[in-house]
Every structure is written in C-alpha cells, then in structure tokens.
Amino acid sequence: MHNQYQNCYRDFPEYYDLLYQRYLKSIPTFVELVSSHTPSERAILDLAAGTGEVSIPLIENGYEVTSLDGSQGMLEQLRQKAETKGLRADTTVQRLESLSLDSHYDTVCIRQAINYYMGMKALTGGLRQIATVLKPTGTFIFNAPNFLENAKKYEDSEHRYEEGSKKAVVLERNLLEDRVLTHQQDAMIWSDSEPVIHLKEENVFYMFTKEEFEQALTEAGFSQITFLSSNGEPYQKDDKTIYCIAQI
C-alpha cells in the first residue's frame, strides 16, 4: 500500500518545519561546526538545504551561501524565511546525484540528507562530485545516523507540536529492511480556525556505517577524514549520530 503515502518535501513543504521539529534540535551544533571550519565571509554550498535551517544562520554569520535542494517547494520555504529576515538567499534546484555547478566552495555541507545516496555506489559517486566543487583547501562536513549492525531497531514514536496557531500530532513508524530504512509519518494538523488536515508521508534512506563512509570518502579522493560525536568530542562507536569533517 506504498502508493497511499505522499512526500513532505515534494507535496507539502509548507508543513516541514512544523512536522519535523524533533530533527531540528542539532542545527546549532552543525552550524557551529561549519562556521568554525570556514574562514569569515567565504563561500559555502549547503546541499539538500531544505527550508534553510542551516543556510539561514550561515548567511546571518556573514557567509556567502548557495542552497541546493531537489525540491523547488522546500527552497521556496527557504527563500520566504530569508526574506522575512531581510536576507538574500541564493538557491538552486538540483539533485544530489547530478550536481552541475560552476563555482568552487570553501566548504560544502550536508545535514541530515547524505543518506539519500541509496547505497555505496551512489555515495561514492556523489562524494566524487562533491570533491570536484570544493576548492583544493576546502572542507566537506556532514552528519548522519551511525548505523550499527547490532542495534538495528528504529523505534516508532509519537509527537505533539505547536507553531503559532497550528497544532499537530505525528505518529512515526520506521521499517528497516537490510540497509534500507523506510520512515513513515501519519500527521494531523489543525488550528482553531482551520479544519483538520490528515497527511501520510514516507521517506526512504540507505543506512551507512562509519567504516563505509570512510571507505567511500577515501575512494572519492578525500584524505584527511575526522569523525566526531555530536558534542564535538572524538567519535565513539556507540554514538547515535556521526559528524564528519573531510578534506582532499
């Protein structure tokens, strides 16, 4: 019954910030990591930039940011948010798998989206393309879930959110088959003045281990590769999330 599911990025990007609040908590850590590895006012490419939760604070920090995403609707949300803050956003609609960019960047970053490369071949190919848009001294930074062979359970969960007058209840279900994680959400959204909207959506990811990221980065030409925990300390094997900083 997969075809009854929509996709938030494609079908209702205006509800992304409301329905995905629990995944936005680590934004300041990620923005700080990118800022601390990028000299002032330099050029940053934010891949799979979504609604701009990373791009906008980086623009506010004085960087020249290009925000790339496969979804026109998500980038429209980004542009609206930037405009509200009086900021200029530079956006481009492109797929991660086929980057076409004329510029070279001091930093390329990708938060919570590298798992859209569906397998090792796609990941290595994507990283090769990323290497070509980095300046020779540039830095590539990403975070991702740390897939551990012996801890395969991804729990179902339930969440309640409020944003302005809007309220939402979200039921999250995760199905892992081999390395492919299917994430499904059933959401109800309402406000005092609007009727209930019921949304069902699905996202599919490929789960990589830290060793696989290391292998793909090396094959793509990266040589200085550092993994960190979410608190900035050196990587520990039970970390739920991996942070990675890599240079050619």
Ligand X SMILES: C[S@@+](CC[C@H](N)C(=O)[O-])C[C@H]1O[C@@H](n2cnc3c(N)ncnc32)[C@H](O)[C@@H]1O
CA distances from 88 to 60, 158, 215 (A): 10, 36, 37
Cα 182 from chain centre: 16
Q: Are 57 and 16 in contact (CB under 8 A)?
A: no
What amino acid is encoded at 202 in this protein? E
111 binds ligand X (CB under 6 A): yes
Q: For the window 4-33, what string marks contact with ligand X as x by the rule CB under 6 A?
A: -----x------------------------
Cα 200 from chain centre: 21
Q: How many residues does the chain have?
A: 248
Closest residue to ligand X, Cβ-based?
A: 50
144 binds ligand X (CB under 6 A): no
Cα 69 from chain centre: 10
Indicate the residue among 35 and 191 with the shorter CB distance to ligand X. 35
Binding residue for ligand X, selected from 34, 113, 170, 244, defined by CB under 6 A: 113
Q: Smallest distance, Å, CB 9 to ligand X?
A: 3
For ligand X (CB under 6 A), the number of binding residues is 17
Indicate the residue among 76 and 219 with the shorter CB distance to ligand X. 76
228 pairs with which residues across the strands? 234, 243
Q: Smallest distance, Å, CB 164 to ligand X?
A: 19
Tokens found for residue 232? 């900035």
205 binds ligand X (CB under 6 A): no
Binding residues among 47-106 for ligand X as defined by CB under 6 A:
48-50, 53-54, 69-71, 74, 95-97
Q: Taking contact as CB under 6 A, which single stretch among the options 46-54, 147-155, 157-165, 231-239 is the one that binds ligand X? A: 46-54
Tokens found for residue 63? 């960087």
Q: Smallest distance, Å, CB 53 to ligand X?
A: 4
- Please tell me the distance from the alpha carbon of residue 128 to that of residue 218, in angstroms, as a whole number: 10
Indicate the residue among 64 and 191 with the shorter CB distance to ligand X. 64
What amino acid is encoded at 159 in this protein? H
- Please tell me the distance from the alpha carbon of residue 4 to that of residue 184, in angstroms, as a whole number: 11
Indicate the residue among 66 and 71 with the shorter CB distance to ligand X. 71
Indicate the residue among 8 and 196 with the shorter CB distance to ligand X. 8
Closest CA to 12 of 156, 166, 129: 166
Contact residues for ligand X, defined by CB under 6 A = 9, 48-50, 53-54, 69-71, 74, 95-97, 111-113, 116
